[in-house]
Amino acid sequence: MKIQRGFKAVKEEERRREQAREQRRGKLWRVFFPKDADDDYEIPIRFLTDEPICYYEHTKFVNGKVQNYTCTGDGCPHCEDGDKPRFVGAFLVIDRTEFEYDERDDKGNKTGRKLKGKDRLKLLVRGQTDLASLDRLNSKYGLLDRDWTVYKTGTGTSTRWNFDRGDLDEWTEEEIQNILPERYRGRDFYEILEEQIIGKSTDESTSEDDTIDEEVEDKVMSGVQSLDDEGTPEKVKSSNKGVIKKLKRK
């Protein structure tokens, strides 16, 4: 397959808005790939799904914010605006990065104290280059039974994100469920993914913040690709689990 590397300059970088988004319900964050990451920047993740849910997505700057919209194909307003969607695949993952957040009392007011957390349920959304890598890694090793570390190589236009395999450390079903936020427990992971993906396009009337996406880089780092099929990994094509049908472009 054809592999392209690309790093298109992005005009604006979205500020991290984790604190605000934490309070929001219903939308999972995406694993964030910062543009200006240091060489030693790493993101530890655990895959909960090992096949991507694939779809086309528009990434736009709206009022200085990056927003992603799932392309609905026929009648998609963003296509009609002349924007070209790109092919992406989403995985459900646990972001194992440690983070700090504000402690809140029963009324939701900040207490002034900071708490530490880790293991947030997120979407990992990548373009064709990374999907091809993940396809290969999944066939060769499987993705589910260990942590992976996402790390970067190169700088500037040759920046790439890579996936490093951790030691075997299989989680029991119970361990996984305990890590999930309550409202996602007992649910099918692919269903959760589809709900997140489809929700993004059908629910644009929710508050603006709900559709903000912090990942300028996602579009950039993974190689922005044209939408012809020649670059699409076979596995990706064959594992669409229905979503692609609903979202298929004309």
> Interface with Zn ion by CB under 5 A: which residues?
71, 76, 78-79, 85
Could you tell me which of 217, 218, 207 has the C-alpha nearest to residue 21?
A: 207
CA–CA separation, 29 vs 74, rounded Å? 27
Considering the complex, what minimum distance in angstroms separates the CB of residue 235 from Zn ion? 24
The pairing of strands 42-47 and 65-70 is unpaired
Could you tell me which of 81, 121, 124, 122 has the C-alpha nearest to residue 221?
A: 124
Nearer to Zn ion, 49 or 67 (CB): 67
CA–CA separation, 146 vs 166, rounded Å? 6
Considering the complex, what minimum distance in angstroms separates the CB of residue 84 from Zn ion? 8
At 159, phi and psi to the nearest 5? -65, 135
Considering the complex, what minimum distance in angstroms separates the CB of residue 202 from Zn ion? 13
Considering the complex, what minimum distance in angstroms separates the CB of residue 245 from Zn ion? 15
Nearer to Zn ion, 122 or 200 (CB): 200
Question: Which amino acid would we find at residue 53?
Answer: I
Nearer to Zn ion, 85 or 233 (CB): 85
Nearer to Zn ion, 77 or 142 (CB): 77
Considering the complex, what minimum distance in angstroms separates the CB of residue 51 from Zn ion? 23
Nearer to Zn ion, 71 or 244 (CB): 71
Helix (H) or strand (E) holding 174: helix 173-179
